[in-house]
Each structure stands twice: as C-alpha cells, then as structure tokens.
Amino acid sequence: MGISPETFRLYAVTDRAWAADEEDFFHQIEAAVRGGAAIVQLREKRLEDDAFLAEARRFAALCHELGAVSIINDRPDIALAAGADGVHVGQDDLAAGRARALLGPGKLLGVSAHSRTEALRARAAGADYLGVGAAFATGTKADARPISRETIRAVTAAVDIPAVAIGGVSRENILELRGLGLAGVAVVSGIFGQKHPEAAARELRALVEQLYSE
C-alpha cells in the first residue's frame, strides 16, 4: 500500500493515559485528525485481545470516516481483523519480514529503526516507512534512548521510504529536526497529553510544515 510522503507530516500515536474514558479517547483521536494528523497509530499494551480488537475496529472505522490512515501497533492479526490500513512493529516485536508475510502486499508496514543497519534491514523486509528515534528524551517510553542527529540523517539517506522522527517531539523542539531528511514527526503526549488535542495538533502541523518551507 503506497501513500504520499506528505501523509507522514504529522503522525499521531495514541495513549489512553490522558483520556477520561473510552468516549473521550475516541474524541481525542478525532480531534488529532481534525487538527492535521493524517495518520494515527493505535498503541495498546495492556488490553486483552477481544477488547483490543473491538477498539481497533472502532478506531479503523473512525479513521476511514475522517480520511486518515489507521495503523495498529505490534499486531498484524488485529490490524487485518479490524480492517486497519497497516501495522507498526518495533525491533523487539514481531520481525518485520514475518509481519509483512502476515499482512500481505496491500497493507502498510512501519518499522522502528535506531540505526542505518536497522533501517536497511527493515526496508529489505518490506517496510513502507520507518519510525526513527528516540529523537529526544521521552517519558512515554522509559527505555528509549535519544539518537544523534547524524544517525537520523544516516537513516534517511540510506533508504528510499519515508521516515518520521519519534520520541519526545514537541512544539518546543520540532524545528531542531530541520535538514535531516525526515518526512515528518510522530507525536504522543504533544497531542494526547494536551488539554485541547485539536489545537495542539494544528500547531504542530503548522510547525512541521516549516521544516519544508525552504
């Protein structure tokens, strides 16, 4: 499944920690899309399979209704059953090649990469895009260590697929990513941890566009 690199300008990654309840969680997702996130990843680490699948189906339907791309974290089986557009896997999750085999050619596959070697391996396994980081220190994933700007630039130069910076990206530091060859940024707390997610997404989208204004 191919999509325009511009789709990756603002990539929202969910975190229900800031949602009051299920309805608020989906309102936040809708707000993120309306604010400019064209692709959204549903990230759940603690739900049982039945609950995850039910949520994923609602998530995929909402994204399709709003015209956004729907990605499921870690679980190709859930992505396929829910009718989502693709899946994202980390280096410690299901191997990228196995994920591609399960998904088939018609779905998006995103892979986390922390080095040029991992990026090349992911591309060879069939990745459609990369999540590169951590770009900055982040409280969302305690074991994520920031990588250098040189490493990010080496990753984006090594592959011909879009790469988004992830990890600690915020309105305060987003412009530090200028000139690194990135297609966009992936944001968690900078959207979902804000009082007004739509306004936060809109501001981030405007800032990220500045990375490509010259």
Residue type, 18: W
Q: In the prediction, which pLDDT does 140 show?
A: 61
Catalytic residues: 43, 112, 141
Q: Global pTM? A: 0.95
Q: In the prediction, which pLDDT does 111 show?
A: 98
Q: In the prediction, which pLDDT does 212 show?
A: 86
Q: In the prediction, which pLDDT does 103 show?
A: 96
Q: In the prediction, which pLDDT does 193 show?
A: 95
Contact yes or no for 91/114 (Cβ under 8 A): yes
Residue 189 belongs to domain with CATH number: 3.20.20.70
Q: In the prediction, which pLDDT does 139 show?
A: 66
Q: In the prediction, which pLDDT does 94 show?
A: 86
Low-confidence ranges of the chain (pLDDT < 50): none
Q: In the prediction, which pLDDT does 167 show?
A: 94
Q: In the prediction, which pLDDT does 214 show?
A: 60
Q: In the prediction, which pLDDT does 3 show?
A: 85
The residue range of the domain holding 81 is: 5-210
Q: How many structural domains comprise the chain?
A: 1
Q: Give the whole-angstrom CA distance, residue 163 versus residue 129.
A: 6
